Chain A
């Protein structure tokens, strides 16, 4: 197989729900091992865009290639290739963390050995026997991340993986992700409200609003746009007149 230059290629993708144009013609590319943040306020179209890459939504127009393959005819291969966590997924309350992981491992035909490896990776070994509804918010997010990592995905798509977590829990997740980048050359698309998350983790930042890309580049490049802003929020205000957090 020829090594594709891009692991993800999104070409002029559009998606509407009834009257709402959630994504209005977005194109972007991601290289293997690259960490990219999608930043924008609620309703910017981040989740819809990510779900189209994940194969959960079908674009109305445009094309998406992952490792050169498209969802319509390579579903099985692509499921093996990606790992994801959705915004606020809740697992079955009455299963233990270990049982949850075994369940998802079985979908990838993986055994207990890989489950143990992932528990070590996400640092949740002491919570294996805890019921999911007894885990803290941060532990649940780490479990969701663990489930995403089971199949050693080449590309990770995380939708607000640290929303609602305290700074320590957030930093733990960031460190797990940076470790993966080093050890497995994993690519990452991450949506976030947090500028510091994008700054700390990502090689490139894409700012979205109302279904389009407003700006993209490294942090320094973006801040330089329109003449030296001190922060992403300040830049966002100058681009749209609104705060990033709204």
Chain B
């Protein structure tokens, strides 16, 4: 008689899991969307991008004997003339090609173009030499200036920078995509728990289903444990699919310990499940829930270094940011993925996340409104 399939915890987990996977949109938002995001961002920030510099080219009337200036000689030899522009492409395999557009115009018009931001450098060219005018505080203008000088001196042989000394980082674990994937895995846990668990609870409360369920001999904690468990398995499936994609497409590899990764993954789920229970412990209004979830999720998405390192923030903020749950998950994942980390390197994060999750769960359940 005491078959497991009659047990309330089993029934609750099955019911919640069925509810998740029977919503077709879940497959898109939970599985396909993160993969698309990884693909888009991974591609966008992995391509070599050269500089595209726009310069105004003013020829002054100091030429005599029909002699051409050095820059004008270089331009006549290796540029494509298009209307009044000379287009130059400087090849660079390691850094990506650079484009230079020299726009031939009058002196007064050149300054107008500069003010509008259409060019960043003005070249006043004569056979006595070229004069470069630009804003020294602009990085773009400086880069354009350096490219143009190089081109003036070396023509098509301009090398942009000495290429021999450049070693492009294509080592596994040091590319942007290696930074991104662990961050996305962490963000996936946060989003799925906060939206999935909190929203389900708020919805149940507003439908009076919570009230109906606690009017039976159901154990209240079983309901919450079942919600968290069903969500955990869904998160695990989503994370595995995202990883498989990153592995096949970008050759992202787990260099460290897989068991440490699993432990940290579980700790992350516990942390955000606890937060989700706390968020949804009282309100029956989805508008209020929406606001609360956003208030928790959005700041972490921005500052916790999912997409870009938080070490660019001021130092005093970094000391706080690094202890945010999402930061701990993302940093821990990165240590395991990219630095060959094991449990010794991430146990502190795992313990803190678990403690945090258990604490928020307990506070949540103490203040929980069942009806």
Contact = CB atoms under 8 A, between A and B. Distances in A.
B6 interface: yes
Q: Which 6 A-B pairs have the closest CB atoms?
A: A106-B11, A107-B218, A107-B216, A94-B22, A106-B8, A90-B207
Contacts of A90: 207-209
B227 to A, nearest CB: 12
A103 interface: yes
A67 B11 CA distance: 30
Contact of B8 (A55, A76, A107): A107
Interface string A110-135: 11100000000000000000000000
A56 B15 contact: no
Contacts of B366: none
Interface in A80-111: 80, 84, 86-95, 99, 102-111
A106 B6 contact: yes
A99 B18 contact: yes
A87 B215 CA distance: 13
Contact of B209 (A91, A99, A107): A91
Interface in B1-38: 1, 3, 6-8, 10-12, 14-15, 18-19, 22-23
Interface of A: 54-56, 76, 79-80, 84, 86-95, 99, 102-112, 147
A108 B6 CA distance: 10
Given A79-B217, A95-B19, A111-B1, A86 B212 contact: yes
8 contacts: A79-B216, A79-B217, A89-B212, A90-B208, A95-B19, A105-B6, A106-B10, A107-B216
B18 A95 contact: yes
B4 to A, nearest CB: 10
Given A56-B211, A80-B217, 4 more contacts: A86-B211, A102-B11, A107-B8, A108-B216
A89 B210 CA distance: 10
A104 B7 CA distance: 10
A222 B214 CA distance: 36
- Interface size class of chain B, counting residues whose CB lies under 8 Å from the partner chain: 20 to 34
Contacts of A54: 215
Contacts of A110: 6
B45 interface: no
B323 interface: no
Contacts of A95: 15, 18-19
B15 A76 contact: no
A85 B8 CA distance: 20
Interface string B126-160: 00000000000000000000000000000000000
Contacts of B233: none
Interface in B65-115: none
B371 interface: yes
B215 A84 contact: yes
Nearest to B10: A106
A145 to B, nearest CB: 13
Given A90-B209, A92-B19, A92-B209, A109 B215 contact: no
Contacts of A88: 208
A94 B6 contact: no
A106 B7 contact: yes
A80 B8 CA distance: 15
B6 A111 contact: yes
Contacts of A87: 208
For B3, B23, B218, the residue with the greatest tally of chain A CB atoms inside 10 Å of its CB is B218
Given A89-B208, A106-B10, A76 B18 contact: no
A84 B211 CA distance: 11
Given A92-B15, A94-B22, A111-B1, A104 B211 contact: no
A87 B18 CA distance: 26
A109 B216 contact: no
Given A102-B11, A110-B6, A55 B215 contact: yes
Given A95-B19, A103-B11, A56 B371 contact: yes
A74 to B, nearest CB: 12
Nearest to A82: B215
Contacts of B213: 107
A244 B213 CA distance: 31
For B208, B214, B216, B371, the residue with the greatest tally of chain A CB atoms inside 10 Å of its CB is B216
Contact of A94 (B1, B23, B208): B23
Contacts of A105: 6
Interface in B278-324: none
Contact of A103 (B12, B207, B371): B12
B371 A76 contact: no
Contacts of A109: 6, 8
Given A103-B12, A106-B8, A94 B18 contact: yes
Contacts of A76: 217
B211 A94 contact: no
Contacts of A86: 208, 211-212, 215
Nearest to B16: A92
A184 to B, nearest CB: 19
A89 B212 CA distance: 7
